[in-house]
Amino acid sequence: MPIPRVLQKRLKQIVNDFSDSSIMVVGDSMLDEYVWGDVARISPEAPVPVVHVQSRSSRLGGAANVVQNLKSLGVTPFLVSLCGNDDTGIYLRKKLEQNGCKSDGLVASPHRPTTIKTRIMARHQQIVRVDSETVSDLTKEETGALWNHVSALIPRVKGVIISDYSKGVVSKPFLARILATCKKRNLFVAIDPKERHFDLYKGVSVITPNLKEAHAVLGVPNAHVNDREIEALGWKIVKKLNLPYLLITLSERGMALFERDSRTFSHLPTMARNVFDVTGAGDTVVSVYAAAITSGAKPFDAAYLSNQAAGIIVGELGTACVTPQALLAACAEK
């Protein structure tokens, strides 16, 4: 059934206001590389498929993909991140600029390579992924260079997204400094989390874990759970991390939104018609949610828009972006 006209009008106003929002993205940037091909035989050297390469492509990943998502939505994004002082870093910077995203805050480090995730694809199925990266904590020099950009940009933005992929940018002292500054300015902070850093996220505006990550917050095994168990899990996370809001993505089951002060739990069923690839879906969810909140949306409306956007993205192969037009069209569909 179509959504009520009152809600549709409200969502349209929020999306139209995206162009008045500005958001800083701090986190781990990378390049998503794809090798596309076909499989016709098994290797005589080992029981593995032989992929006949037909084409190659590359896309922005991690924090760079979040920035690209925000730009596609009409938000003014600012990236603070790290790359290597290498050809891939130069290419990453160039690709950002080709997509209309500023790369001033992308710091080139001589101490680590630019992260590349290479996916070998055969007939639209991922055969294997190869990661080229360094995941150690940043040096004082690297952290200082990033902080210079953060401190210069914070007065210019309405919110901050921390895109944590555990590649080194997000560390306890660096994140604590960012969060303390955001608290003084009463800035909205959203975090797309990674399991090993959950204790660092206490008191932020919202985190957007998937169900596996949500289990990891509490140190319990990941399992298929029903709505009642998801609700119990979410409230425990809200209490443990002192979160005003929590948005758990549930893959084919949609999303779960928790609002602490009103003690409201909302389950949003999935909007996906086809699921081809979940790569980058988390980037899209946190981007749309943050764009909506910084444009005046209530948490449920922001979650609704994020759920619609995720339904669009998982129907695409590889990382992709949602436009305001596509988002509103999805909201208007029966």
- Give 3-state DSSP helix, strand, coil % of the chain, rounded to 5: 40, 30, 30
Contact 23, 160 (CB under 8 A): yes
Cβ neighbours of residue 7 under 8 Å, at least 6 residues apart? Answer: 301, 304
Sign, CA torsion 222/228/234/240: negative
Conformational region of residue 243, where left means phi above 0, alpha means psi within -120 to 50, and beta covers everything else: beta
Residue whose pair of structure tokens reads 């006209």 in the numeric block:
5
**Which member of 32, 164, 283, 301 is catalytic?**
283
Residue whose pair of structure tokens reads 């972006």 in the numeric block:
321
Conformational region of residue 251, where left means phi above 0, alpha means psi within -120 to 50, and beta covers everything else: left
CA distances from 24 to 84, 88, 193, 202, 283 (A): 21, 23, 16, 19, 14
Half-sphere exposure (Cβ direction) of 259: Cα atoms closer than 13 Å: 12
**Helical ranges in 37-167 per DSSP H:** 63-73, 87-98, 140-153
Beta 115-122 vs 106-109: how paired, if at all?
Answer: unpaired
Contact 164, 195 (CB under 8 A): no
CA distance 233 to 218: 8
Joined together, the tokens standing for residue 179 give 């969060």
Say how many residues make up the chain.
Answer: 334
Q: Is 283 a catalytic residue?
A: yes
Contact 198, 229 (CB under 8 A): no
Active site members: 283
